[in-house]
Structure formats: C-alpha cells, structure tokens
Amino acid sequence: MSIQEKMVIPDQGWVAGEVGAPAQRDSLIRFWLSVPMDQLESFWKGGYGELSCSLIRQLTTQTHFSADQAAVREAINKRIGVLGLNQPFAHQLLIAAFLLSPPGLLKVPDAHQQLPAWLANIYKDLYESSAPVIMLGGPSFENNQDAPVSLPNPDFGAVPNSLNELVNNRIQLNRLLGLSNLYYIDPEDQEITQELLQLRRWLANLIQLESEVELERIWATDLGDRYWALVRSGVQKEPLDQEDQAIIATATQRLSPESGGGFGKPAALNAFLVAMMYYMPGGMRVDSPEQKIPGWLLEPYRQVFEQKQAAL
C-alpha cells in the first residue's frame, strides 16, 4: 500500500465498529488521507477521532506492522519532511502516522506552536511522555534532547545480491514502489530523487547479472509491478552521472546491430529492461516489436513506450 494509491474498487466495505484488523486499520488510514482538508476537525469530532484513538491505544512497542504499513509510515515521514507541519495536508498525514505509531514513540517538538490547538491536544494526550523517541525523522520531527537515544536511520536490512533474492525481500520491494510513487508526485524532492536514482543503478546491475531465461518468471512476481512503477515515475529525465552513463551505454551497445548486438542476441532482454529505466516513456521505439519482444513484455512496453520516436 502507498499513501497515493490509484483508484481501486474494494472487494467489500468496512464497518467502523469492527475496525481492528490490519486491513481495517489501513482503511481508516486511507480515510484520513482522503478527508477534505477544511473538514478534518469536524470529522475527528464526529466519531472518527474516538475510533482512531481506540486503535492507536491498542498499539504497543511489540506491535508487528506489515511491510506495506512500514512503507506507508516511511512515505508519510518523507512527505511531512517536505511539507512541514504548517500545511493543512500535513495534519492529515500526521493523523495517519498516529495509526502506525505506538503511544510514547512519536515526538512533535513545539506541538502547540506547530499544530492547531485541537490537534495539538490530541497529540499531547496520545504521545507526550518521557519515552525515548524512535519513530519519525525529517525537519519537522526531532528527538527529545533529554532522551537517551537518537533517531536511527531506517534499517532496510541486507541488500539483495540478485533478482531472486530481491523477489523475496518485501522491504526492498516496497521501498522501490514507495520511492517511485513519491518521485512521481514530487520530483523536486532531492532526497527522494537521489535515493531512487541509487536504487535504479542497483536494480540495473542486478538485471545485467541475471540469466535471460529467468527474466519472464521473475517479472511475473511483484518485482514486475515495482519495476513498471519506476519506469512510469519519470525519473528518466534526471541527469546521468558517470555510472549511469556507463550503464546505459552498455545496454545500448547490446541492443545495437551495428555493435554486434540486437534482439535475439545474448543478454538483449536484460539490456532492454535496463534501457527502459533510462529512456523517458515515449522516448524510444522498437521496430516490429511483436517480432522482437516476447509476449510477457510486449504489452507493458507498448503501454508505456509505443509512440513515434527514434527507433532502437
């Protein structure tokens, strides 16, 4: 789940009196992110606030959050860092963050100065304590100076060394999806941009190392969805550093008949997958794609790239 989901019709509705399961908690988070900004306080006082507080108080330091929920919490943290706490939408983000933050493990410095009075009082009731702060970072959140610990950097675990390892790593898969979505929404955020560029280089190197015969199986997993989210993000418009230039030069050479490459040659599909992460959607074209591109890759390629542009 990301905080900017596409419109999807759910399989079934949810009942406020039965909220408590992870999926229902997620429904309430989506609710707060979609409430009209000028009606936020009214909805809170209309019963949804009491419901949210009951869910928040169920959380403890031992509560297990799913990988998707952790990704949402990280995305909210980044967005609040961009917006600050004086913007109305930041208040909705903060309430959503409450639903993923056990009492005592979140700190908003100078809450009564940064938040409207009604929200500051809610925060104080839920979170003001002497407990060490370990949850949110960024310009608008900081550790209590008297606390014994500092805010840690996110720990994403061991970095997968192959696509097969990545397929089974939910944290890195959701990180890739979250960063791609955040970049699509706010490409001016340099922290997000640099992190996504680093992930793209890493993914390109993994793709180059993979056996071509394994690609179809791998792209049928969640990695395929994450890959296309990155391709559609528009990150291709960012300037290339030397490492990126070397990556795209190698991929282009493997796809060029003049250089002894081209479709049908070894590692051509690997190179093609890499190239699509570096060419803007609509910025390249394959002549007679139905003859060169395998069926599992043909339709998504056409959806993103098939426009009249320079052909590979």
User: Domain of 95?
Assistant: 16-127
Assess if residue 212 is contained within a domain: yes
pLDDT of residue 224: 93
Please write the tens of the pLDDT for every residue from 116-174.
999 998 988 888 754 433 333 333 333 333 333 233 344 455 678 899 999 988 888 88
pLDDT at 7 over 90: no
Whether 153 maps to a domain, the answer reads: no
CB 178 within 8 A of CB 186: no
Q: Is residue 7 part of a domain?
A: no
Query: Does residue 139 sit within a domain?
Result: no
- Give this prediction's pTM: 0.53
- Average pLDDT over all residues of the chain: 79
Residues 190-217: pLDDT tens digits?
A: 888 999 999 999 999 999 999 999 999 9
If one counts the domains in the chain, the total is 2
Whether residues 273 and 184 share a domain: the answer is yes
State pLDDT tens for residues 219-264. Answer: 999 999 899 999 989 999 999 999 999 999 999 999 988 888 889 8
Residues 297, 242: one domain?
A: yes
Is 10 a domain residue?
no
pLDDT at 274: 96
Domain annotation covers residue 311: no
Q: What is the mean pLDDT of residues 298-306?
A: 86
Question: Are 118 and 184 found together in one domain?
Answer: no
Residue 189 sits in the same domain as residue 275? yes
